[in-house]
Structures are given as structure tokens and as C-alpha cells.
Homo-oligomer: A and B are copies of this chain.
């Protein structure tokens, strides 16, 4: 069944207003990982709450309490719970999304201001931080609800919403909320399935439904040495330099081919058999897709199956950067006193932060001991989440397959995704129902 013509016409008529609303959302720099932007995350919650109420959603802002980030105690941004309908004859669908974003600045390589939604004239793409991850998809739901509200159409399901503002920083506070509201009498009581739109198509051609996610463990390794930054002329070759030790440690974690060098981490994952490889072989994908999305000819291999398995069913380790070292332009001859390397490992079953972190920590400690340095080492886990895989033959997925065919005229590819949305697992475990990932973003959206 194709999508109703009156719905499609409503979308076309309101396209500019929808884009304007997305621009308003992108303009709020709701960066959850930066304490100086915490007020913007709260502002974004209030903005979204007002828009949900305007289309008939009964909402409540939930105070999630406080947390500590980089030594500072902060109030968490509120979560938004919403509901429409309580018809026993309908299925009840819980929709999840997040309204916080990653940091972004032009120095990271953006060609336009990240917080000004810009339309690329040649491709028609809407460019701005959060336009795809995850303000755009959240506003996609808002647009659908606006249609039903304005046209007086009843929704075919009972709807529950859960939108949070800490997804990019470990979804702090949300697990407790979901567990609490999943109990009898809670906001999520009676939910039959969950739908999350916070990932991407494999390419720009074929829609996707996703039945697996990698988990994550994010670590910060700090080397402390002198009491203050030093002049390399005065102190070079007289003291143990923290940067030398940290770089040595970071170089031991992953090689240039993406292999994880921490003993036991890659080895935890069973190799794929021929039957599993044939699933990846059937997907609409080539190495040109990943190179086009990455904007450079840097794929680890041209073998499609190896590339897809690297993304979907093997762990990966990325070095993100260093806090405390010289990071500006120009030539500063400093010996930094204290430097922190940041890296994360994407996890797949049976890996969890709980079984991987001890391997990482003991390996780093033993590698550091080999350096014979008088500097000191500390390792912190900044956040993490387990991987997740579900049944893609469930009626929740079947409904999504029909809806995808109705809107795009194509059957979706079924994929596992490389990114992590730890709350997926929380919903699956707390509610005991099927969770569907229904991406609205394309493979070249450039999400981080």
C-alpha cells in the first residue's frame, strides 16, 4: 500500500516550514559533553516540549537529578515524556530520540557554521550539527504528528515518546527513568514495541532497518609528570615527558589496518562462517559507498564483505585526541605537564565494557610499566554501553518493512550498525519488547 496522497501533499506544502523548524533546532548548541553549553541543552528541551504540546502531545519534563562531569557537579537536562492515545484495541509504540549534539566547530573541518542550517545547493543536503543526529529524526516525528493534529486524523497506534538530552554523553540518568517508567502504572506500561530513529542508511540508495548495534567503552588515559608546563629548551632531556609516555601508550592500542592490539579484545569475537558472510554479501554496498561518505579514498579494503563486517560485527578502536597538549595553530615549544589521551572501543557480542575494560586497563598498565618512567598514569572510563542484536522477523520489523516500501517504493536492507545507542538495550531489557531501529539519515550525512 503506498503512502496516502493527502499525507504526501501535506509534506510538500509544509516542506519549507519543516526546514525552518529544523534550522531553529540546529541553532541551539545543545552540546551535552560541554558544561558551558548545559543551559543550551535545557533550552532545547523546553523548545521541543513546546512544539510537542502544540501538536497535541501530553508531555512532562522529567528532572533527572545531578551528575559530575570533569570534576564539576551539574544538573542533568530534563527528559521529555509524551503520550497520545490509550485505545486498548491498538498497539502502543514508544518512540525514542535525543535532542543533544556532539561538539562542533569550524576548526574541526566544517565548511559552514555548524549551528546555522545551510542548504547545499548542488546536493540539496541540509548541513548543520544535529540535522541528522538526532534533531532531524525527532522533528520527523513532530512533522508526522503535526499532520494528524492539523488534519484531525487519529493515529493508528497509541504513541509514547521519550526524548533525552544526554545521549552523546552516555545517556546519564535515562536508564533509571526507563526502568522506573517500565513498571506497572509507569509511563511506558503497556508499550508493545519501541522505534528508535538515530542511525543511518548504508548508502544513499536503499532504505535500511537495523537489528544490531555495537556497544562502546570510552576511556581516558592520563599521564601526570611535572607540576607545570615546561620550556623544552630548559627541560628537554632532563625530565620524563608526559607526552612521550602517552604517545607510546596510544601507539600500542590499534594498528593502521584497524586491528586492535590489546590482547584478548579481537579474540573475544567469533569469526564469521560462510553463511553469515553471505548475509553481508547480499547488502547493497561497495567500498565506494564508504569512501564517498568519508570524502576520501581511505577504505581499509575493497572487499565489501570484510568492510561491512568491520563496521557491523567486529570491534573497532579509534583514537580521538589528547587533552592538555598544545592543540593550537603555530609552533609552541612546550612540554605539557599533564596530558590525557581519549579513545574508545566499539563493542560487539559477547563484549561488554565490564569484560573489555579490565583487559584494556591491565594491558596499558603493563605497557606503561615497561617505559620505566617516573611519571604517573591514571585510567578512567568516561562512559560505555553493551552491544545489542534483536530478532528482525518480529511483527515490529514487518510493519516497518511495509511502511518503508510504502514511502520509498523499495524493500529495506537489514543491517547491523557500527554506532552505539546504549538506551536501545535499556528499552529492550526493561520493557521486554522488540526494539526497531528505523534510520532517517543517509550514509553520507557525516554524523560524528
Contacts and interface: CB of A to CB of B under 8 A. Distances in A.
Interface of A: 33-35, 69-70, 102-103, 107-110, 133, 169-170, 200, 214, 216, 218, 220, 224-241, 243-245, 247-248, 250-251, 254-258, 290, 293-300, 307, 310-311, 314-338, 342, 344, 346, 371-375, 382-383, 417-420, 443, 446-448
B300 A237 contact: yes
Count of chain copies = 2
Contact of A233 (B214, B248, B336): B214
Contact of A316 (B214, B236, B319, B334): B236
A322 B327 contact: yes
Given A328-B103, A335-B318, A296 B419 contact: no
A217 B320 CA distance: 27
A243 B318 contact: yes
A244 B256 contact: yes
A239 B298 contact: yes
Nearest to A368: B256
A9 to B, nearest CB: 34
A238 B202 CA distance: 13
Contact of A317 (B102, B170, B236, B330): B236
Contacts of A295: 226-228, 337
Nearest to A295: B227
Most chain B C-beta atoms within 10 Å of own C-beta, residue among A245, A258, A330: A330
A99 to B, nearest CB: 17
Contacts of A228: 109-110, 294-295, 446
A232 B344 contact: yes
B325 A321 contact: yes
A327 B339 CA distance: 10
Contacts of A419: 231, 233-234
A231 to B, nearest CB: 5
A351 B3 CA distance: 75
Contact of A296 (B225, B243, B342): B225
A344 B330 CA distance: 12
Given A238-B299, A338-B109, A333 B318 contact: yes
- Shortest Cβ-Cβ A-B pairs, 3 listed: A227-B295, A233-B419, A236-B316
B334 A320 contact: yes
A447 B383 CA distance: 37
A320 B332 contact: yes
Contact of A236 (B34, B234, B311): B311
B216 A374 contact: no
A333 B216 contact: yes
A321 B229 CA distance: 12
B233 A418 contact: yes
Contact of A334 (B108, B169, B335): B108
A446 to B, nearest CB: 6
A29 to B, nearest CB: 13
A315 B233 CA distance: 10
A384 to B, nearest CB: 10
Most chain B C-beta atoms within 10 Å of own C-beta, residue among A290, A315, A382: A290
Contacts of A374: 297-299
A323 B319 contact: no
B331 A383 contact: yes
B332 A232 contact: no
A286 to B, nearest CB: 12
28 contacts: A33-B329, A35-B329, A107-B324, A108-B334, A109-B338, A216-B233, A224-B296, A226-B298, A227-B296, A228-B295, A231-B447, A234-B311, A237-B315, A237-B346, A244-B255, A245-B256, A247-B247, A247-B250, A248-B255, A250-B251, A255-B371, A257-B372, A299-B374, A320-B333, A320-B336, A321-B332, A326-B342, A334-B448
A167 to B, nearest CB: 11
A167 B372 CA distance: 36
A356 B107 CA distance: 32
B331 A323 contact: no
Contacts of A33: 329-332
A299 B375 CA distance: 10
